[in-house]
Chain A
Amino acid sequence: MKFNDLLLGLLVLLGGIAIYVSALGFTDIPGQDYGAGTMPRAVAVFASLLGLFMIVKALLAGLRIPGLELAPWLRSRRSVLSVVVALALVVFYIVAAPSIGFVPASLVVMAVLMLTLKTKPLTAIAVSVLACVVIQQAFGRLLLVPLPRSEFLGFLW
């Protein structure tokens, strides 16, 4: 997903304005003219000026329509699916790990992503199991990170 310079400039300008407006509500240090709003306002002014500059430059270069160019991967259904799967797997981990535990959740994340990337099923499962145990032992046992446990796999901890 590639924005052209005009659209990018517009987005930066709008972002700058949004930050500026939102920063108007921040309070100052009592008795001073500066406070929580100073920095966001400075960033906002910087962003707005940059946005304007980019818009003018794009217009001078002959661009008229804010546009979006689709990257090659967006035209391949496979690639789009892979990206969606990868992101969905992270969300799955966040949601599922606390209830089903680290080991099953991470196994699913790695094995499914490997299969999506066309790894042979046997290799994918074998490597995932190995990696999962190594990570669990390294972080859970050695570094004492409280990875979510599963009842039936308590012996690993």
Chain B
Amino acid sequence: MSILAEAFALVFQPYVLMVILSAAAFGMFVGAIPGLTATMATALLVPVTFFMDPVPAIAAIVTATAMAIFAGDIPGTLLRMPGTPASAAYVEDAYKMTRSGRAEEALGASLVFSAIGGIFGTIVLVTAAPMLAEVALKFSSFEYFWLVVLGLSCAVFVSPGSVSRGMISLIIGLFAATIGIDNPAGQPRYTFGNVELLAGVQFIPAMIGLFAVSEVLRFVASGAETPAVEKGGRTGVFAKQWTNLKRYPVQAMRGSVTGTAIGALPGAGADIAAWISYAISKKFSKQPQKFGTGHVEGLVEAGASNNGAVSGAWIPALVFGIPGDSITAIVIGVLYIKGLNPGPTIFINQPQLIYAVFIVFFLANVIMLPMGWIAIKAARTILSIPARILMPIILMFCIVGSFAINNSPFGITLMVVFGVIGFLMEENDIPIAPAILGLVLGPMLEQNFVTSMIKADGSFLAFFERPIAAGLGLFTIAIWCIPLVMLLLRRGRGRSGGKPSAGASDRIGG
């Protein structure tokens, strides 16, 4: 009990609460602007959290991401431009509701069910994480090796677009992770005599480059302007939500469960959760024909799902140190910088910190309701800020943020290099998330792989000798086989006179 009291004392300080409130406002703002994702909100926030204690730092990230995922629905609903990829699944329905004058109802549903999903995910996080940590204490390098491979595989196989392109992204990340002197033999790799590269590719400038600078470059290249905002009528944000909850309790619950589970899977995050939940909702709906025509049902389920995923993603991040999505990948980077090594021992050594994180999660999801209401009411003003003014300011933030990590201009150089890489990747439909996971997990993969190989004396069979390692290994291999099975199934269907195999054969998911 004293631990819980300590945790409360850590969170309920005026400074921490102020950080939470500001981070909420910041998350709302970034999420509400089309093109600026929740991951970008985190990326821009990290240089600031760098100067905070662990609890306010984590609180800022948790709050900002939860808000940004919800706020991504705002431009989706009003402009038909999803603010974050996690809102893309149900953008048709939300926008059509706006066109029939029900914008506030649609946004209210997103808001309320986002909070429900988020709180559900948090409850699962609170109960499952400590239990899993007990199990994880018994893990050896073999289990960790498979967990990392599982996380990276999921990131590749669930990324939108083709699997081959996801793999290219992963290779870029893994290769970048090999740069520097931090390796089993302590030999400088790919540093080309540069002293600053000895420490490896600094994670934060790389990430700011990949997520934020690439976005600025894309805007600059496209020269697109924000379209005019639909009017959408004033029906009240919360007015119809009780009816919606009574009408769709199963959907809300199912969305929360699916979202949390997908979030907890290493490598898969809110975007995928929303797509899958929307598909499930349509499949089991009594009125599937209404989906895509301004129907609130899919919004309820997928809205709960993507915020559930935000909480769920923290389970593997805290317990194993393996990120559930690109946001928690950033968080893990931050935790390491703060000297907190995520993994099961954190539950033993600093339980008050873990409980503080849990409390922050509840706070973030509760505070979402009033903040979301304000954001919905202020949406038209936020959306009328032209991107041609915003993007140069964001670029400046990127520069200062990359500099602030080591107070060295080399951070800015790294940022711009990775910005160009990220821009070229997106031009070629290569997803960015696997690269970030590769960069974060690369050192862990290398360490556990080399340790395991030495322990096993070079025998791959040893990777399957311990029961949990074997289970994880088989599960991972099963995931690798999915594209093959899909290909065979499609071929089989093609031969039996069904639909011919259309599109890229290795395309799955969104």
Contact = CB atoms under 8 A, between A and B. Distances in A.
A binds B: yes
Interface of A: 1-3, 8, 12, 15-16, 19, 22, 26-29, 32-36, 38-40, 42-43, 46-47, 50, 53-54, 57, 71, 73, 76, 78-80, 82-83, 85-87, 89-91, 93-94, 97-98, 106, 109-111, 113-114, 116-119, 123-124, 127-128, 131-132, 135, 139, 143-147
B51 A143 contact: yes
A27 B187 contact: yes
B403 A145 contact: yes
Interface residues of B, number: 54
A27 B189 CA distance: 10
Contacts of A116: 220
20 contacts: A8-B168, A26-B185, A29-B185, A32-B454, A34-B454, A39-B445, A46-B174, A53-B164, A54-B164, A82-B223, A90-B399, A90-B416, A93-B399, A93-B412, A118-B388, A119-B388, A124-B389, A127-B389, A139-B47, A145-B404
B183 interface: yes
A10 B74 CA distance: 42
Interface of B: 47-48, 51, 164, 167-168, 171, 174-175, 178, 183-187, 189-190, 216-217, 220-223, 386, 388-389, 391-393, 395-397, 399-400, 403-404, 407, 409, 412-413, 415-416, 420, 424, 427-428, 442, 445-446, 449-450, 453-454, 458
Contacts of B174: 39, 43, 46
B175 A1 contact: no
How would you classify the secondary structure of chain B's contact residues: helix, strand, loop or mixed? helix
B449 A50 contact: no
Contacts of A131: 393, 396
How would you classify the secondary structure of chain A's contact residues: helix, strand, loop or mixed? helix
Contacts of B445: 39
Contacts of A127: 389, 393
A2 B424 CA distance: 8
Contact of B189 (A3, A26, A29): A26
B412 A43 contact: no
Contacts of A36: 183-187, 189
A43 B416 contact: no
B453 A38 contact: yes
A89 B88 CA distance: 33
Given A36-B189, A91-B416, A146-B407, 4 more contacts: A8-B168, A15-B171, A109-B399, A147-B403
A90 B183 contact: no
B389 A123 contact: yes
A94 B419 CA distance: 15
Contacts of A87: 217, 416, 420
A13 to B, nearest CB: 11
A73 B222 contact: yes
B428 A2 contact: yes
A27 to B, nearest CB: 5
Contacts of B400: 106, 135, 139, 145, 147
A123 B446 CA distance: 51
B400 to A, nearest CB: 5
Contacts of B442: 39
A43 B392 CA distance: 37
Contact of B184 (A34, A54, A114): A34
